Structure 1
């Protein structure tokens, strides 16, 4: 993932934590029950920050590797420009060498860039949820409570507990249709379902 995107993600999560803190400041009675949510958001922010550090380290290593290759190419050019080596055969070898080094360099650069991007995106997508709450932002939480749980916070909390303990996605989908009477085509239900799927 691009560093700019990672920074935006960190900024969004920091804004979410700020919003959560403001909410608790205005509703201190909810803090005791929801302190785990705040802890999860801070841990999530910390994980993303560590990913950004890894990405920066990989970018730095790639930059140093490219710099070293460029210096080696420059050094080889200076040697080949020496009049002692200027024979017709050396001209041909120099052209072949330049082309192969260019090809090798671009291939390695492409691989390094692709590898660092894949490593971070793999880490993000492979992070299996152990607690669904950690993937639900404060705005989404209020949306879900309002639209899916008829503004009943207790129903939302008990449902999240049920979902966290469930081990069968099929049974969860049956629960959504039979127990909750949710329309699975509803965009809010789809959004909620996508978060639940990350647990499996």
Structure 2
């Protein structure tokens, strides 16, 4: 309880939100290692037509790309995703894969 002294619930929630935002924008070394089990199932279901093999192959291909433009071209050429929370989350993850600054 002493570590909470002076902090309101609002302060704690705000601190948590700031941390989550920072973590959600950190670069990732590979998509394969960055995608947790829950997200994996969500992506397979909502973006890859329930095809786990298609998902795995696509992740391997995207991980082998040299830059974000190549990855974006691959996604545009192979998928016709509607704008959704899931597709935006996946695309943000792909962007993080290529931003190492």
When normalised by structure 1's length, the TM-score is 0.35
Question: 2:55, 2:25 → 1: CA distance?
Answer: 26
- Aligned alpha-carbon RMSD (Å): 2.4
Question: 2:24, 2:55 → 1: CA distance?
Answer: 26
C-alpha contact (below 8 Å) 2:32/2:60 kept by paired residues: no
Displacement, 1:135? 2.0
Are 1:194 and 2:95 counterparts? Answer: no
**Structure with the bigger percentage of helix:** 1
User: Among 131, 140, 160, which residue is 2:30 paired with?
Assistant: 131
Are 1:182 and 2:81 counterparts? Answer: yes
Corresponding pairs, count? 80
**1:110-141 alpha-carbon deviations (Å, 9 max, x no partner):** xxxxxxxxxxx5xx578532211222121111
Q: Secondary structure at the match of 1:198?
A: helix
When normalised by structure 2's length, the TM-score is 0.66
C-alpha contact (below 8 Å) 2:43/2:86 kept by paired residues: yes
Structure 1 gap segments, 5+ residues each:
9-120
The residue that corresponds to 1:164 in the other structure is 63
After the TM superposition, list the runs of 4 or more consecutive aligned residues in structure 1 that deviate by more than 4 angstroms.
Answer: 124-127
